[in-house]
Amino acid sequence: MKLLVIFLALIGLCAGSALPVIPGDNSHYVEGESRYIWMPDGDGVPHLVDLKAPIDEVMLMNRNGAHNTYWLFTRQNPTNRQILINGNANSIRNSNYRGNRPTKVIAHGWNSKGDSDLNPAITAAFLANADVNVIVLDWSRAASGTYTLSVRAVPDVGRHLANFLQFLFNTAGGNWNNVHLVGHSLGAHVVGNAGRFAPSRPVRVTGMDPAGPQWGGNSNALNRNSGVFVESIHTDGGLLGIMDPISHADFYPNGGRNPQPGCWNSACSHSRAHELFASSVRTNHFVGRRCINLQEARNVQCSGASLNMGNALLNKRGSGLHGLRTGSSWPF
């Protein structure tokens, strides 16, 4: 009997614990209330994140946009990066950058880096689609460490990105009407800040499942002021991603939340946004239908006007919430 009491007490203790014990399982998570959540790194490995971890102000001083690095890929160097250095005109003049091409910028998320899976996949898609400059932002120094610290670093990372792009245009040509900024998770908020810090709004900004934890009501989040046309693709809404519409056009494939087809946890669903985007750049086959409200989008019961999700068109325009269904494997 004594052992039974101890056993039941242990069960009760575990049930009441705020610490989730199964890696990658965010079924416990309640937006705005839960302290802990599992977040994947750039390789998809889940890490337990304390959303109430204290901020080390000294460490924050070293986690800023000054440490951004910029990798250029073009059809002349599709897989071998060329390093562009802010303030160093020769690094630009000696590269394959051309000011008369459209420029695509890709920003990764938390605990990721420039060569994390999404960047080569989207880079290859952009270069297969058109003759463009692709710049991969590696902000891994500010994106590493505690999640809360990285959240605080996002605005400065975005500001430095905007300053770099303006230097690039001043040095070798180009302009904001020919720029498409793309970011995943925290990277979506990075490009959102870059768009707002820019002297002229970029013509298009795409957020791929913009990060949700600590971003509800956050004035630094991606929003409609970040570009001429801003869109978001929501795939893990309410968990690792934002569910509420924050852009001119918000897409909710398969209801915009976990589990996405072929996924078993929110980490997979969160990553599905950048996989869907890469596929859309190559094929432009995802057709969303406009929804009356968010509930319709969640239930994939939308039947309004059509608007394609993703793709690489600079002149894309649209508004409202859009729902659609996709497959469970590439090209979805």
99, 82, 100: which is closest to 91 by C-alpha? 82
**Strands 287-290 and 306-308, sheet pairing:** antiparallel
> Could you confirm whether 34 is annotated as catalytic?
no
> Which is catalytic among the residues 189, 234, 270, 274?
270
Residue 321 to residue 290: CA distance in whole angstroms:
6
Residue 181 to residue 106: CA distance in whole angstroms:
6
Alpha helices in the chain (DSSP H): 2-16, 57-61, 89-93, 118-129, 140-143, 147-172, 186-197, 266-283, 294-298
> Which is catalytic among the residues 138, 156, 209, 250?
209
3-state secondary structure 219-259: CCCCCHHHCCEEEEECCCECCCECCCCCCCEEEEECCCCCC
107, 42, 114, 51: which is closest to 267 by C-alpha? 42
Residue 269 to residue 267: CA distance in whole angstroms:
5
3-state secondary structure 286-313: CEEEECCCHHHHHCCCCCCCEEECCCCC
Residue 214 to residue 231: CA distance in whole angstroms:
20
Residue 182 to residue 206: CA distance in whole angstroms:
5
> Could you confirm whether 270 is annotated as catalytic?
yes
> Could you confirm whether 271 is annotated as catalytic?
no
> Which is catalytic among the residues 150, 185, 271, 279?
185
What kind and span of H or E run contains 184? strand 179-184
What strand order describes the sheet that includes 287-290?
77-84, 69-74, 133-138, 103-107, 179-184, 204-208, 229-233, 249-253, 320-324, 287-290, 306-308
Catalytic residue set: 185, 209, 270
